[in-house]
Amino acid sequence: MSDLCSPTFEDLATRLGFSCEEAGGIFELRSPLALENWTLPVLEATIVLGAVLMLVHAIVRLRRTGDATNLVVWLGTLAFLFIIEPLLYFPDAFGVEEYIDTMFAHNVFTVEFMWGRLPLYIIAIYPLMATIAFEIVRMLGVFRQYGTFVGAACVGFVHHAFYEIFDHLGPQLRWWEWSLDNPINQPFFDSVPLPSVVVFAALWPMSLAFCVQFFVGRHIDAGRTFSGVELTWRTIVVGLLASVGTVILPAPATVIGMGSTTVRATIYAAELVILSAVAIYVLSRQWTRLRSTPADRPYSNNLVRWYSIVYLAVMAVLWFAALPDWFAAVDGVTEAGDPIGNLWYAVVCFVIAIACVTATFTIPRSQPAGADETPSRALAGA
């Protein structure tokens, strides 16, 4: 759709290997064999399958136990997505192009929406990542022991670890392309904008988790159930307020660092360090406590535990496939002209993510009756 092809997006699309002028319409379907490289359909299948399984599990859990928390996490992420993403994809259409130029472009995948802007897997990655992070923290009983705010901070930390494994690999494998000159993306941490590393990977899921737990989770933990109407408006509020939180939480960096990239980077980094320090202390202390007091374990989610392993295994394979070009890169760019992410940061995130998943497996298995929904039981009851 030519009138939606801004110069910046057209340039990014060309670098990714497709034409903005030829990018479908509201919906487009293409062969997975016709994509840029084999890693795109593998990523797409992994993310979409995981999101679907998480949705089925959330619905089954609501039907069986009355616990709507997982469903609100899943749907709340979509409410957030449809508030934020259209503005980022079509700043001209919303009249904000003077303030928000095109920040990035996704490559074309098997299933596409919105004239090549929104692959299905991007819609799916929001609820998948948020559910994994939220449920890991919930399985460790952090919300119950430390409260909503600290629990939300831990969700942000866990989400950050899982997401940055993906975030530092995408540009090299042409999953998307960042606009290097856009001031909103500055500064960059190798091939990834630091605002993405901090705001999207950590502060956004923290904001979402806080809203979910405040409006729904803590009430359900106390034994309350909600009607369909109550869940609907609470889910919409979660999406809206999570969006507001994503503006408020990084405000120190965006306001104080408005005139200096260095100041902005320093504050972003400080926020991430503080968040990480709190989360590491709380998660490790809570894991130790649950190991010694198994009766305090709140509940289990086997689907999240096992699919976390699937996700990490797939990402490890994709990273190994990218390593030859990564090590051969010169000045941060591969021979094919693709920017590389920070391998060592990704390794640290792998270690953290593996440790978090392992923690959920190493807690004694005693829990209240009916609290554990295994994948097979959940799908059978759907």
Is 209 within the bounds of a domain?
A: yes
Residue 320 located in a structural domain = yes
Spatial contact of 368 and 299, defined as CB atoms under 8 Å apart: yes
Pairing of the two strands 188-189 and 192-193: antiparallel
C-alpha triplet 352, 354, 360: angle, nearest 5°: 105
Q: Which pLDDT value is given to residue 327?
A: 96
Q: How far apart are CA 87 and CA 96, in angstroms?
A: 8
Instruction: Show the tokens assigned to 88.
Output: 């980022």
- Considering the entire predicted model, what is its pTM? 0.91
> Tens digits of per-residue pLDDT, 139-188?
999 999 999 999 999 999 999 999 999 999 999 999 999 988 888 888 99
- For residue 330, what are the β-bridge partners? 333
As a whole number, mean pLDDT of residues 279-306 equals: 86
13 domain-assigned: no
112 φ, ψ to 5°?
-130, 150
The pLDDT of residue 365: 63
pLDDT in tens, 60-95: 999 999 999 999 999 999 988 888 777 777 766 666
Higher pLDDT, 200 or 377: 200
Using alpha carbons, select from 175, 197, 174 the residue that is nearest to residue 185: 197
Domain total in the chain: 1
pLDDT in tens, 205-259: 999 999 999 999 999 988 888 888 999 999 999 989 998 888 898 888 888 877 7
Residue 138 belongs to what domain range?
42-88+124-380
Q: How far is CA 256 from CA 201, 262, 263, 316, in A?
A: 21, 11, 8, 38
pLDDT of residue 375: 39
Distance CA 353, CA 283 (A): 12
- Enter the tokens of residue 85: 């993403």
- Evaluate whether residue 362 is within a structural domain: yes
pLDDT score recorded for residue 374: 40
The label of the residue with tokens 């392992």 reads 358
pLDDT of residue 294: 65
Q: Percentage of the chain surpassing pLDDT 70?
A: 90
* pLDDT band of 3, cuts 50, 70, 90: low
Give mean pLDDT, residues 98-116: 82
Give tens-digit pLDDT for 304-335.
999 999 999 999 999 999 999 999 999 999 99
pLDDT at res. 382: 34
Q: Is there a domain that residue 376 lies in? A: yes
* Residue 18 located in a structural domain: no
Q: What percent of the chain has pLDDT over 90?
A: 61
pLDDT computed for residue 309 by the predictor: 98
Query: Does 98 map to a domain?
Result: no
Residue 295: what pLDDT? 61
Q: What residue has token string 């359909």?
A: 41
Residue 244 lies in a domain: yes
The whole-number pLDDT of residue 255 equals 83
